[in-house]
Amino acid sequence: MAWAACADPVRLATWHGDFSRKGPGLMLADLEKAPPDLGPIVSVGPDVLLLTDIDYDAGLVALGKLNSLLADQGLHYPYLFALRPNTGMATGLDIDGDGYRGGPRDAQGFGWFAGQGGMALLSRYPVDLWVDHSALLWKDVPDSAIASDDPAHDVQRLSSSAHWALRVATPGGGLTLLTLAATPPVFDGPEDRNGRRNRDEVLLWTHVLDGKLGHSPDTPVVMIGNLNLDPARGNGLHDAARRVLEYGRLQDPMPGAETVTWDSTGPMRVSYVLPDRALSVRDSGVTPPSPDLGPHGLVWVDLTLP
């Protein structure tokens, strides 16, 4: 298919809105009985939207319900994508050392049940999975920061949720979205296990782009999702965020942006849309959060393909 030489901008967005609950099916029940304020999505109207905190079910029923609520407000997404995330996936080990197995911190990614707080993509354009690195073991990542005595050294996956490379066929040409939702670099002890894992999750796509984990994508790329890491503020190994922001193939359309405000830490930047330098940025922004869906703003960028 020959794409048009000139095309309208493509609006990409990511949102860490709270579409997750503490039990399977509860999010769907809430969507059905008390639909939340979807203002950040409706006001921006992205062509492609990555959600990084939404419960997964095998039939994508909850995602389908959310899609129908958006359709009622004039947004139509014919293409939905989600796979089972690592959240809540049992390891069979007592990772947190509390003497019990099967707790939320003993899973491949924190979760009270399999699929809690995963990722999902809604798109106006066809989308296909190019590669899924979600099963990659932490110990096998280039320059891995896993400890040699980690309690799950031989079975721990790197991705706390997922790392999907998704091909999107926009009217202006193909894009490869490099998606992620990294673990928070907190909620541990002096061993800083979550901080080190967050670092390696944040840096994974740079290894892919460097050709260290198979072929680098041959279309323009966009790194998109929740890094859970500010380049300077809060907890975490900030150098990982700075390395991504300074990575040669990527550009930062909104330096210093604030995407979340927590009561305990104040404003920080944790969600990102970082386009390939081959793409032209037309506009970008962050919405105010929804009162129903947590403190995170929706991050969006308008892009023109070459």
239: domain range?
A: 10-304
The residue behind tokens 């999907």 is 164
d(CA 302, CA 7) in angstroms, rounded, equals 12
Give the model's pLDDT for residue 265.
Answer: 85
Residue 214 located in a structural domain: yes
Which tokens sit at 238? 């900030």
Strand, coil or helix: what is 200?
Answer: helix
In this structure, what CATH number is given to the domain that contains residue 107? 3.60.10.10
Give the model's pLDDT for residue 189.
Answer: 87
Residue closest to 157 by CA, chosen among 144, 138, 139: 138
Q: Alpha helix (H) ranges present in 113-182?
A: none
Residue 5 located in a structural domain: no
Residue 251 located in a structural domain: yes
Residue 38 located in a structural domain: yes
Residue 3 located in a structural domain: no
3-state DSSP of 61-88: HHHHHHHHHHHHCCCCCCEEECCCCCEC
Residues whose CB falls within 8 Å of the CB of residue 275, separated by 6 or more in sequence, listed in order: 12, 220, 221, 222, 250, 251, 253, 281, 301, 303
Give the model's pLDDT for residue 2.
Answer: 30
Give the model's pLDDT for residue 306.
Answer: 84
Q: Are 235 and 268 in contact (CB under 8 A)?
A: no
Strand, coil or helix: what is 108?
Answer: coil
Distance from the first to the final alpha carbon of the chain: 16
Give the model's pLDDT for residue 160.
Answer: 98
Q: Are 42 and 70 in contact (CB under 8 A)?
A: yes
Phi-psi region of 266 (alpha: psi -120 to 50; beta: other; left: phi over 0): left
d(CA 231, CA 133) in angstroms, rounded, equals 24
Mind giving me the DSSP string for 224-248?
EEE----SSSSSS-THHHHHHHT-T
Total number of domains in the chain: 1
Residue 234 located in a structural domain: yes
Residue 2 located in a structural domain: no
Give the model's pLDDT for residue 263.
Answer: 86
Give the model's pLDDT for residue 5.
Answer: 40
Q: Are 53 and 18 in contact (CB under 8 A)?
A: yes
Give the model's pLDDT for residue 3.
Answer: 33
Pairing of strands 127-132, 118-123: unpaired
Amino acid at 235: N
Amino acid at 165: A
Give the model's pLDDT for residue 7.
Answer: 67
Residue 99 located in a structural domain: yes
What is the pTM for the complete model shown?
A: 0.96
d(CA 118, CA 114) in angstroms, rounded, equals 9
Amino acid at 89: M
Low-confidence ranges of the chain (pLDDT < 70): 1-7
